[in-house]
Amino acid sequence: DAGVTQSPTHLIKTRGQQVTLRCSPISGHKSVSWYQQVLGQGPQFIFQYYEKEERGRGNFPDRFSARQFPNYSSELNVNALLLGDSALYLCASSLAGGSYEQYFGPGTRLTVT
Amino acid sequence: GDSVTQMEGPVTLSEEAFLTINCTYTATGYPSLFWYVQYPGEGLQLLLKATKADDKGSNKGFEATYRKETTSFHLEKGSVQVSDSAVYFCALSDHSGNTPLVFGKGTRLSVIA
């Protein structure tokens, strides 16, 4: 069975640009969560979506936004990129909206120059 | 708010040595506790979990016991292998699993032959 997939794998952007990251959950999973992992730190929660509705939002600025599509895939958008947005962005899917049995994708490595 | 504190790394051990990675938490109520592992270039994998006091989670020779009295969830393995080299993250969510995962900063383990 396919796990959580994310695209692209790596991305280099310039300050001020916008970026869109994509995530496909495990088949049958209806919840997707996004986390930011800065080098040397643990992942920090950004968003959770369940059945296309936003279930939760972490302490991130409004430059970060996300959505979930009818097929349960998800996009994370970041506008007006800052150097500090450089990180590994992880997507996790689960059957329902809770934290139990979250399955993580390999992540998208974003570098902002 | 809720938080997780892990021992600082890196930890370097010889093959077959005993491993302990300390984890303590601060949370309201009785959280569920998790250990995740991140191998180089990969996303996070759930290693084990415990959902109530005195529960012992175990997997692949690793184990951790939920200690409410000391608010701890230390990870142990009796005999590490080179293949265990990775970054280990302690995490928590509320008991119902309805809140996002809160992660510690991670502990890098290197096992040398």
Using one digit for the tens of pLDDT, what is the confidence trace for B74-103? 999 999 999 999 999 999 988 766 678 999
Q: In chain A, what residues touch B43 (CB-CB under 8 Å)?
A: 4, 90, 104-107
Q: What is the pLDDT at residue B87?
A: 96
Strand B107-112 with B56-59, pairing: unpaired
CA distance B54 to A40: 31
pLDDT digits (tens, 9 = 90+) for B56-74: 999 999 999 999 999 999 9
A96 to chain B: closest CA residue: B98
Residues in chain A, pLDDT under 70: 1, 97-100
- Which two tokens mark B13? 């051990």
Give SS3 for B82: helix
Q: How much of chain B is helix, strand and coil, in % rounded to 5? A: 5, 50, 45
State how far the Cα of B64 lies from the Cα of B20, in Å rounded to an integer: 10
Strand A74-78: give its sheet, edge to edge.
A5-7, A19-24, A74-78, A64-68
**pLDDT (0 to 100) of residue A9:** 95
Percent of chain B whose pLDDT exceeds 90: 80
Nearest CA to CA, how far is B56 from chain A (Å)?
A: 16
Is residue B19 left, alpha or beta, with left meaning phi > 0 and alpha meaning psi from -120 to 50? Answer: beta
The chain-wide mean pLDDT, for chain B, equals 93
Kindly identify which residue of chain B lies nearest to residue A39, measuring between CA atoms: B105
pLDDT band at residue B8, thresholds of 50, 70 and 90?
confident
